[in-house]
Amino acid sequence: MSLLVKGGRLVDPASGTDEIMDIFIEGEKILKIGKNINLPAKKIIDATGSVVIPGLIDMHTHLRDPGREDEETIRSGTLAAARGGFTTICCMPNTSPVIDDPSLVHYILRRAEKEGVIEVLPIASITKNEEGKVLSEMGRLRRAGAVSFSDDGKWVSDAHLMRRALEYVKMLDLPLISHCEDDDLSKDGVINEGFFSTVLGLPGIPREAEEIAVFRDICLTRLARSSLHIAHISTVNSLNLVREAKKRGIKVTCEVTPHHFTLSEELVRSFDTNTKVNPPLRDKDDVRAMQEGLKDGSIEVIATDHAPHSPEEKELGYTLAPFGIIGLETALGLVIKELIKPGILTLSKAIAKLTVNPARILNLDRGRIREEGLANLAIFNLNEEWKVKKEDFLSLSKNSPFVGWTLPGKVKWTIFKGKVVYQC
Amino acid sequence: MSFKRKDLLGIEDLSPEEIYFILDTAKSFRQILDRSIKKVPTLRGKTVANLFFEPSTRTRISFELAAKRLNADVVSFSSSTSSVVKGESLLDTVKNIMAMRVDCFILRHPTPGAPHILAKNLPISVINAGDGSHEHPTQALLDLYTIREKRGKFKDLQVVIIGDIAHSRVARSDIWALSKLGAKVRICGPPTLIPPQIEKMGVKVFYSVKEAIRGVDVVMMLRIQKERQNKCFFPSLREYREFFSLNEERLGLAKSGAMLMHPGPVNRGIELPVSLVDGKRSVILNQVTNGIAVRMAVLYLLLGRKR
Amino acid sequence: MKLMNKEQMGKIILKLSEDILRENKDVQNLCIVGIQRRGTVLGERISKIIGKIKGRDIPTGSMDITFYRDDLSRIAYQPVARGTDIPFPVDDAQIILVDDVLYTGRTVRAAIDSLLDLGRPRKVELAVLIDRGHRELPIQPQYVGRKVSTSSKEMVEVRVEEIDGKEEVLLLKRNEK
């Protein structure tokens, strides 16, 4: 099977390419990249007027298989991802059961192979059952196919254990991914602590709950001479701690979600539980800081923290509803609308944070467009707008605060291993 | 001026005109409460459902009586938080009751925003009878009514609210209500029970009762939940009482003739000594009576017209 | 169309007062209750006239029938409740209800209900300035200032100094103001 993508603006941050190029695909791989390729192909995609980028990588996705297949399956999650332009997603281990055993890593990979339309790479837990007590078998998990380790949803609060985990993971040449939240301090908080938590009578989560955890984990990373990736950063001070650590040569990277560089806390006034996320939406200064951090490179990665939840659970009211929103299908649109259009990031810099940067952190041979490389591509129209509608989501869950928004950057085709897996 | 709202969810979004309109209407109902026949046919044929997901006696009875005195039918549903099974959506429960053709929900719920969700999703009126630590609008309205009855006006009136501000929906509603009408509000309590950035609501914060109370026209005491002492909000009830309860001496620092209020139920001997509860400054029972008139007014304004 | 001017209104209020006195020679228990708002004004005037003639104060009150209306669920905005002020015991009183215009009879029905919730008067009579017909309930006034035949497309508007700044009675087409 051969496929020719013609006339698109090829943007490949890894090589710095940004020009009109054709791509000829044979089987799973890119055979040739060049101007005006005239090789005979079974199928031709006319990408004139569109941007062709490496398939996006989300290094922070929650699929609900195993355990809550009513909220997301590997099939629905990968379909949603493909609609968003992603060809690789890394799923977090806080499923039921927790991915803390090689057999579960195998399960995810087999399932993805069978029913997924794109690639799913499992992240396994740092500690058994994410209980923060005993290390998971990181070596065996790595061999089974885990691409990193995280107790996402929880912080490893035992400093000694975290130190050892950071040390141990060095032999696997991977970073740990830390969900930085001191939950002794965040307690039963549900929104950012401040004026709004006071007015609404909702328990607050102080920024310091994140910052204390970020600081401790940076210290432990230095102590262990290891590397750390901080998930979903959300405050000015967390970001400054990361900047400071980088300056001192500590191997720390971090990610921000589209909602944290787009939305601020006053939205919770609606009591819409689709504004309930962890970390909580912060204030406008934090949002600006996230954009600043993306711009100056302190934040290398944009990750969705796609977290599907059923309507029944989201209807439980603000204090009881679970944290989290879906993000795979709106990420690219928000990046374009909030970062590229206002000139905060160039197209290439922005796409890097969704492709080659996460690939580098996780040591993946993904996220670039090159001859002999896997034919994973996303093709979108930078200016074509689309309306976010509940009923259009391919995710089984619909918990998005962006329903009703108009976003630019409609994804036209997503190609995974040479096959069109999404076409609008 | 007319009242066009479908719901009463909080004081924060009411205008001063709307607040005065409710208070004026309540005045007409207050007269009725002193008659031998304390009932008018205003809401004949309407059905009001009291949904209480938190234990409450006086608010529930007050709403019930208010509805009955307007000739509405009342059904009451009480369920403590613990028995609301996780997984059961409030909206589902309530849609079932609505299908029995009720005209209004009065909701007391431990989750802030619960009545707002109902109001947004249902075509019928919703009255917030207390949502978590968020708001308790009818309590604030009856407090205003009681103050107005005694003082006539709110402009430049000094009011102090003392106690657990952080967990108090009454405090929040009263702060909005009083400041909208021009009163000056002070709050006082241990720093652990003063929520962050509350100054932005237009109040002055005090940690000393003596300082807070000096020269005020109205002293509002809040109920202290005894459970709070275990959650490191304060070390012991004994210490709390020593620092934050009211006594003759402390009350003496207020303006002469200052009113003493409490939303009830009073922890007698903790935040207030018995002698003050029943003393001449206390208008605590007036608050209770006025509560019915205010709730009648709210029910009438929300339900007594074409929809 | 003007039905009455100030002078004519004065004459008719006087006539109503005299009619009431003729039927109630003993004013020992006589009380007057005006229906808010213009009935209240008329009631006070009648009370003054009778009081002057008899040389004693006639207990007078006003009544707001808003909470007794039978059409609340049919109107878009509630009328402002102006409060009922009846500063005398209703039990065993001989009460003259006063209103400006008698039309369907529903206001009077509400007023009677409201009155009965306050106590048990010995007798209730009704005095109106204008009776314009079109009754929908079996209600009959004892004292009528003037009968006017109207169509249901018309409105009768009574204006009094205290509220409107002038004294007149007008017959208007609906929507004509």
Beta bridge partners of A387: A406
Residue in A202, A267, A213 with CA at minimum distance from that of residue A235: A213
Chain-centroid distance, C-alpha A141: 21
B169/A201 Cβ within 8 A? yes
Spatial CB neighbours of C29, under 8 Å, sequence gap ≥ 6: C92, C93, C94, C122
Chain C, nearest residue to B45 by Cα: C73
Nearest CB to C67 within list B37, B40, B306: B40
In angstroms, the CA B299 to CA B295 distance is 6
In a 13 Å sphere around the CA of A125, the CA atoms on its Cβ side amount to: 25
A window 316-345, beta carbon within 8 A of B: 316-320
Chain-centroid distance, C-alpha A97: 22
Mutate which: B88, B117, B167, B233, vs A, most A CBs within 10 A: B117
User: Which pLDDT band, with edges at 50, 70 and 90, does A416 fall under?
Assistant: very high
Q: Do chains C and A touch (3 or more CB pairs under 8 A)?
A: no
C84/B306 Cβ within 8 A? no
On the question of pLDDT at B113 being above 90, the answer is yes
* Chain B residues touching C120 at Cβ < 8 A: none
B31/C83 Cβ within 8 A? yes
B37 — contact with chain C (CB < 8 Å)? yes
Chain B, nearest residue to C63 by Cα: B28
Average of pLDDT values for B272-279? 93
Strands (E), B28-171: 47-52, 73-78, 104-109, 125-131, 158-162
Spatial CB neighbours of A318, under 8 Å, sequence gap ≥ 6: A190, A191, A202, A268, A271, A273, A276, B111, B112, B113
Q: Sheet of B47-52: strands edge to edge?
A: B73-78, B47-52, B104-109, B125-131
The pLDDT value recorded for residue B90 is: 83
Domain ranges of chain B: 16-134+289-303, 137-287
* Percent of chain C's residues with pLDDT above 70: 99
Which entry of A22, A101, A305, A365 is annotated as an active-site residue? A305
Concatenated DSSP letters of C33-80: EEETTHHHHHHHHHHHHHHHHHTSPPPEEEE--GGG-S-GGGSSSPPP
**Tens digits of residue pLDDT in A46-67:** 999 999 999 999 999 999 999 9
3-state secondary structure of A5: strand
In angstroms, the CA B112 to CA B119 distance is 13
Q: Do domains A2-51+374-423 and A55-361 have the same CATH topology?
A: no
Work out the minimum CA distance from B120 to partner chain C, whole angstroms.
21
A1 — contact with chain B (CB < 8 Å)? no
Concatenated DSSP letters of A366-394: -S---TTSB--EEEEESS--EE--GGG--
On the question of pLDDT at A373 being above 70, the answer is yes
Residue B143 tokens read as 């407090």
B112/A198 Cβ within 8 A? no
Nearest CB to B134 within list A200, A204, A315: A200
**Tens digits of residue pLDDT in B158-184:** 999 999 999 999 999 999 999 999 999
Strands (E), chain B: 47-52, 73-78, 104-109, 125-131, 158-162, 184-188, 204-206, 218-221, 259-261
Average of pLDDT values for C106-115? 95
* Chain C residues touching B299 at Cβ < 8 A: none
The pLDDT value recorded for residue B86 is: 52
On the question of pLDDT at A276 being above 70, the answer is yes
B104 — contact with chain C (CB < 8 Å)? no
The CATH class, in words, for A2-51+374-423 is mainly beta
C117/B37 Cβ within 8 A? yes
3-state secondary structure of C121: coil
In a 13 Å sphere around the CA of B67, the CA atoms on its Cβ side amount to: 24
Per the listing, tokens 């609301």 go with: B84
Spatial CB neighbours of C25, under 8 Å, sequence gap ≥ 6: none
B40/C117 Cβ within 8 A? yes
Residue B61 tokens read as 């009875």
**Tens digits of residue pLDDT in A226-250:** 999 999 999 999 999 999 999 999 9
User: Which pLDDT band, with edges at 50, 70 and 90, does B81 fall under?
Assistant: low
The pLDDT value recorded for residue B139 is: 98
Domain ranges of chain A: 2-51+374-423, 55-361
User: How many CB atoms lie under 10 A from the CB of residue C104?
Assistant: 16
User: Which pLDDT band, with edges at 50, 70 and 90, does B36 fall under?
Assistant: confident
Helical axes B16-33 vs B58-69, angle rounded to 10°: 80
Work out the minimum CA distance from B228 to partner chain C, whole angstroms.
44
3-state secondary structure of B2: coil
**Mean pLDDT for all residues in chain C:** 93
A171, burial (CB in 10 Å: exposed 0-12, middle 13-18, buried 19+):
exposed
A319/B86 Cβ within 8 A? no
The pLDDT value recorded for residue B82 is: 47
B32 — contact with chain C (CB < 8 Å)? yes
**Tens digits of residue pLDDT in A116-150:** 999 999 999 999 999 999 999 999 999 999 999 99
* Percent of chain A's residues with pLDDT above 70: 100
Q: Do domains B16-134+289-303 and B137-287 have the same CATH topology?
A: yes
Q: Which residues of C touch B (CB under 8 A)?
A: 64, 66-69, 72-78, 80-84, 113-114, 117-119
Per the listing, tokens 């005979």 go with: A40
Q: Do chains B and A touch (3 or more CB pairs under 8 A)?
A: yes
The CATH class, in words, for B137-287 is alpha beta
Work out the minimum CA distance from B304 to partner chain C, whole angstroms.
6
In angstroms, the CA C7 to CA C4 distance is 8
Chains B and C: how many Cβ contacts under 8 Å? 62
On the question of pLDDT at B88 being above 70, the answer is no
Chain A, nearest residue to B194 by Cα: A198
**Mean pLDDT for all residues in chain B:** 93
C77/B305 Cβ within 8 A? yes
A198/B198 Cβ within 8 A? yes
Mutate which: A205, A274, A320, vs B, most B CBs within 10 A: A320
In angstroms, the CA B97 to CA B110 distance is 19
Catalytic residues of B, by residue number, are: 58-59, 86, 108, 136
B236 — contact with chain C (CB < 8 Å)? no
ipTM: 0.93
Query: Domains of chain C, with CATH numbers?
Result: 2-22+29-72+79-173 (3.40.50.2020)
E strand or H helix that includes residue C147: strand C143-147
C81/B25 Cβ within 8 A? yes
In angstroms, the CA C89 to CA C59 distance is 10
B33 — contact with chain C (CB < 8 Å)? no
A201/B112 Cβ within 8 A? yes
Nearest CB to B2 within list C66, C68, C78: C78
B196/A198 Cβ within 8 A? yes
Nearest CB to B306 within list C66, C74, C80: C74
Average of pLDDT values for B279-297? 97
Q: Which CATH number fits domain A55-361: 3.20.20.140, 3.40.50.2000, 1.10.150.170, 3.90.180.10?
A: 3.20.20.140
Neighbours of chain C (3+ CB pairs under 8 A): B
Q: Which CATH number fits domain B16-134+289-303: 3.40.50.2300, 3.40.50.620, 3.40.50.1370, 3.40.640.10?
A: 3.40.50.1370
User: Which pLDDT band, with edges at 50, 70 and 90, does B229 fall under?
Assistant: confident
Average of pLDDT values for C79-88? 85
C76/B305 Cβ within 8 A? yes
* Residue A355 near residue A54, CB atoms below 8 Å: yes
Average of pLDDT values for C68-91? 85
The pLDDT value recorded for residue B191 is: 97
3-state secondary structure of B257: coil
Residue A206 tokens read as 């102080």
